[in-house]
Structure 1
Amino acid sequence: MDRPTLYIANKNYSSWSFRPWMALTGAGVDFEEVLIPFDYPGGNPDIKAVSPTGRVPLLRHGALKIWESLAIIEYVAELYPDAGLLPRDRAERALARSVSMEMLSSFRALRSACPMNIRRPKGRIVLPDGVDADISRIETIWRDLLQQSGGPFLFGAFCGADAMFAPVVNRFDVYDLVSRNDTLAYMETMKAHPAWRKWEEAARAEPWIVPEDEV
């Protein structure tokens, strides 16, 4: 089988790149990584040269190009059905897809107010309307799934749904947004994952600095 190539942007800032990268790395999938840094304000032409949307992440597998984080995770889950990117149980797979899609389509207030930034010093900001509701909903998702599965990840073992929420873990952490013990315990589990630690180490070593209002 051809080795897929995953195109990503800055590890410090690119939440959508983080999701499939952590999913594939956490599942032990062998892939080539190509990082194309952000180039504001006009965008990086190198990204536009490889991606039909002009954005990353993008997975190339042979002649096929797949964009959007969740589509990449789903495609690789089909390529490697034993990698654990989706739960084995059909009902759990449906739930994993539901919460992943909710992450994909929702929580705009949180994403807008609190951009992902691995290197950001920990500290609260004044939160605009809508962020508290987003936080509450995410905590409810995590709490319900962890209670059903017994943890330590959302569906017991690490899977693509955990990866979809990985940037939220960073946001909750660096903006000091949560205090529930079960939420904090799940966050610590995620941050202790070898894939998370590998991404974080690379993010902290990056030379690029992008203003928060441009991320």
Structure 2
Amino acid sequence: MKLVIGNRTYSSWSLRAWLAARASGADFEDMLLPLDTPEFYSRIKEISRAARVPVLIDGETHIWDSLAIIEYLAETFPAAGLWPRDKAARAQARSVVAEFHSGFFDLRGNYPMNLRRTPAVHPGAPDAARDIARVCEIWRDCRARFGGGGDFLFGAFSAADCFYAPVVSRFLTYRLPLGEVEAAYAHAVMEHPFMREWREAAAAETLVVAADEVD
């Protein structure tokens, strides 16, 4: 398998797919296409007509959406338990992942992922209070109902955590409000070995994507 990703510093959708690939135990290599560069635009259409990353390539099969990649990995490596085994927990996990996948535009648009940014508030950002409050509600609810077996949303590290890891980084980068439960969850995500591996690689990057650099 090959996973085509964007810059680790900025590409939140790439991070989701990469974490899932690592958690699945798949034998894969990653190929980085630097965002907002001539190289990206000249090569991405050969890989995906959607012209976006990430893209998972498994033989002749190309999957070009983070959630679809997670589902493909879950089906290919069922023993990895990317989704919770309990039916109710699995339904909630899929629901909260789908909710973020299709919404939260104020949070996503005004607080871009930037793992190299010095943590500080973003005073010029338009109001995203409703999105911020809803994310915190999701984290608290998942932890209270299903998180008893570990430090993550459904106890063990799962697809839901892969999906919310970039959101955790946004909360910490822009110093968004976190309660005690949410702060403990954020710490667990950032210190997960796979997340640390990604962050270390991001710290070594030098390319700057101006659109994702905010005050």
What's the TM-score once normalised by structure 1's chain length?
0.93
Q: Describe how 1:46-195 pairs up with structure 2 within 5 A.
A: 46-126=43-123, 127-129=125-127, 131-149=128-146, 150=148, 151-195=150-194
Counterparts of 2:5 and 2:142 in 1: how far apart (Å)? 29
> Alignment partner of 1:59: what SS?
strand
Counterparts of 2:213 and 2:96 in 1: how far apart (Å)? 28
Report the CA distance between 1:96 and its aligned residue. 1.0
Specify the alignment match of 1:45 in structure 2. Answer: 42
> Alignment partner of 1:82: what SS?
helix
Specify the alignment match of 1:36 in structure 2. Answer: 33
Specify the alignment match of 2:17 in structure 1. Answer: 20
> Alignment partner of 1:120: what SS?
coil
Counterparts of 2:200 and 2:212 in 1: how far apart (Å)? 24
Report the CA distance between 1:212 and its aligned residue. 3.1
* Unaligned residue ranges in structure 2 (runs of 5+): none
2:156 alignment partner AA? A
1:188 alignment partner AA? H
> Alignment partner of 2:79: what SS?
coil
Instruction: Give per-residue Cα distances to partners, 1:165-192, cap 9 Å, x unaligned.
Output: 1110110001000231111100000011
Report the CA distance between 1:51 and its aligned residue. 1.1
1:55 alignment partner AA? R
Report the CA distance between 1:40 and its aligned residue. 4.4
% identical equivalent positions: 49
Report the CA distance between 1:43 and its aligned residue. 5.4
* Unaligned residue ranges in structure 1 (runs of 5+): none
1:105 alignment partner AA? S
Across the aligned residues of Structure 1 and Structure 2, the Cα RMSD in angstroms comes to 1.7
Instruction: Give per-residue Cα distances to partners, 1:26-46, cap 9 Å, x unaligned.
Output: 343221111111134895211
8 Å CA contact 2:24, 2:77 repeated in 1: no
| Matching of residue 201 in structure 1 with residue 182 in structure 2 | no
What's the TM-score once normalised by structure 2's chain length?
0.93
